[in-house]
A and B are shown apart, each in its own frame.
Chain A
Amino acid sequence: MADEKDRTAVAPAPKAKVSWLDKIAPGVRKMVSRHTGFAGNLWIKDPNSGEMVYRPDLEQSLWVTPSGGHMRIGPAQRFAYTFDDGAFERLPAPETPDDPLQFTDDKPYRERLAAARKAAGDKDVMSIAVGKIGGIETVVLVQNFGFMGGSLGTAAGEGFIAAAEAAAARKAPMVVFTAAGGARMQEGALSLMQMARTTLAIQTLKQAHLPYIVVLTDPTTGGVTASYAMLGDVHLAEPGALIGFAGRRVIEQTIRQTLPPDFQRSEFLLDKGMVDKVVARKDLPGVLAAILRVLTAGRTRAA
């Protein structure tokens, strides 16, 4: 379903003005501006620093603000920024039943899902694509925080499993960009089960000696962190991303004290030994390529 949209996104950038962005990821600017290029809203407020940033500048800088804030981005931008030449092919996410529990809070879950789908143009939080990173064919899975907080439910779990299976079938590494508030409460214990199901899928990659790389993006918390986000062969994180198990407010209520501002940020996890490297968005493709090049060349590489 998203296939056509992305094929147009892969079209080469106009030759006229070749910026650094066009060199590393042609098509990005066009695609991003197509998604967001409507009149008004030329200035965007950085949610962290409060500064107003000129939208075309943000697009140029991969949605990183002048002060270094890494703004949240969706799968289309992520794929374009990650794959060589911004070229990739979307893989379908499996069909899953909607609303298995017939859940209703203030609003029926079905209505929330429908609204999220309309807003995001995707069926659920997981988008899968295959393409090359540093010349190495790689399956990339992007979790979209913009879709119901990236929450992990049945569809997300199946998306993860499908991505791992696609990687195994192609004997390709898998890279996942995580972003989620946690499990999708509207699917109850079925969401909880995704922690185990995604962990099983990772074993398929491990047995095949295929690299499984996690890139933690803002925010990654709850059951997502406590499963596939912490089981990578290598853990990278974007600067300043919130990463943790329990939410900040819950912890503050438990220990009855205020947490330091850097608590549960990427740099904190680096310091505590849970993340290998904090990498700026523009450097991610290069770092991923360097890691994949070595890991796919070991003596136990997939035959």
Chain B
Amino acid sequence: MTDQRHYLDFERPVADLETRIEELSAPLAAAADAEASGVELQALRNAAHDIRARLYRRLDPWQKTQVARHPERPHFTDYAAGLIEDFVELRGDRKFADDQAIVGGLGRFRGQGVVVMGHEKGDDTNSRLTHNFGMARPEGYRKAVRLMDLAEQFGLPVLSFVDTAGAYPGMDAEERGQSEAIARSTERGLTLKAPFVATITGEGGSGGAIALAAANKVLILEHSIYSVISPEGCASILWRDSARAKDAAEAMKITAQDLLKLKIVDRIVPEPAGGAHSDPQAAVKAVGDAIEEELQALMTLSPDELLRQRAERFYAIGRARSGAL
């Protein structure tokens, strides 16, 4: 789609092929028998697409980590644009500042008024700085609490989109109570008397992720990850070598598929054949369809039933027969 695609290391073979095909396309189009070459070109493109699809069907946990962090993967802004009509961003925690690492507001999701919120990593240098690469400070989590309060007050469901390497490890964040802010946000999710659907769209990094994912239903994209610490962080602590991140990614069971078995997530949203970044629109729609189904079921529950379902969901994790690998 874009001229300068971002290729991951393991995509090298298919990347070379795709580049060669595009290089051929101009001279072929200008050739005498343009129609025949067009057919051939399409066949080549299909072949490349198949290779990519096959590659993506057997990604290992470390490759998935890279896909989950892919800069062209759809971000909160894409989900809000694709799924939320009349989105009105609400800013600020009413205490100290507005933290753009977490973006949220009001809108309509397929006809239903909702509160939406999510981590935004940004997609170019400027926006990445604005959004602090999706790493929130206390104000971000306090804004999330404020948004959840609002949802409860007006009986609106909450949709969250989780995509963060983790909470921002900065001095200012510590000074202003990063831990407390995360804890309160998690708590607010768990006590919310409104339906709450969380979707892990990229990286679900540690406490900074669960602060926005203490939901009735937790969905995850096919190649997203959710973990207690980044594979690099785990490797540098347990192996004393961050280069062992690949091993840590495997050992920690961070993939959507493993997490579903552990009942840490409830549903996997399939991604387009080459990953969400290869067809962001299709990925966003698939996420919307999955959320709509989950939300419809939750809308039939009373506030007390929602609380009970959420508590039972989390209490069941890790208990007998709740799934071992």
Contact = CB atoms under 8 A, between A and B. Distances in A.
Contacts of B251: 101, 103-105, 186, 188
Interface in B179-215: 179-180, 182-184, 186-187, 189-191, 206-207, 209-211, 214
A200 B190 contact: yes
B7 interface: no
Given A100-B324, A251-B171, A255-B170, A193 B317 contact: yes
B190 A189 contact: no
A223 interface: yes
Given A157-B318, A190-B264, A100 B325 contact: yes
B264 A229 contact: no
Contact of B170 (A100, A105, A188, A251): A251
Contacts, number: 166
Contacts of A199: 183, 186-187, 190, 214
A254 B169 contact: yes
Interface string B252-267: 1110000100101000
Given A196-B190, A200-B190, A105 B174 contact: no
A101 B250 CA distance: 10
B65 interface: no
A189 B254 contact: yes
Interface string B303-325: 00000000100110110100011
A250 B324 CA distance: 33
B306 to A, nearest CB: 14
Interface string A99-121: 01111111000000000000000
Interface stretch (B36-44, B48-56, B231-239, B279-287): B231-239
Contacts of B186: 195-196, 199, 226-227
Interface in B222-238: 226-229, 234, 237-238
Contact of A103 (B184, B214, B252): B252
Size class of the B contact interface (CB-based, 8 Å): 35 or more
B178 interface: yes
A272 interface: yes
A245 B174 contact: yes
B228 A192 contact: yes
Contacts of B206: 183, 192, 223
Nearest to B175: A272
Given A105-B239, A189-B254, A193-B314, A230 B228 contact: no
A190 B318 contact: yes
B206 to A, nearest CB: 7
A250 B214 CA distance: 26
B177 A272 contact: yes
B167 interface: yes
A197 B315 contact: yes
Given A96-B318, A200-B190, A273-B177, A245 B252 contact: no
Contacts of B324: 97, 100
Smallest CB-CB A-B distances: 10 pairs: A246-B169, A225-B179, A188-B252, A105-B238, A226-B182, A230-B180, A192-B228, A226-B207, A226-B179, A245-B178
14 contacts: A96-B318, A100-B262, A101-B325, A105-B238, A189-B227, A189-B264, A193-B210, A195-B186, A197-B314, A225-B183, A226-B179, A226-B183, A244-B178, A246-B174
Interface of A: 96-97, 100-106, 154, 157-158, 161, 183, 185-193, 195-197, 199-200, 202-203, 222-223, 225-231, 244-247, 250-251, 254-255, 259, 263-264, 272-274
Given A190-B264, A246-B167, A272-B177, 13 more contacts: A97-B320, A100-B318, A189-B226, A189-B254, A192-B226, A193-B318, A195-B207, A203-B187, A228-B183, A230-B177, A244-B174, A245-B179, A246-B178
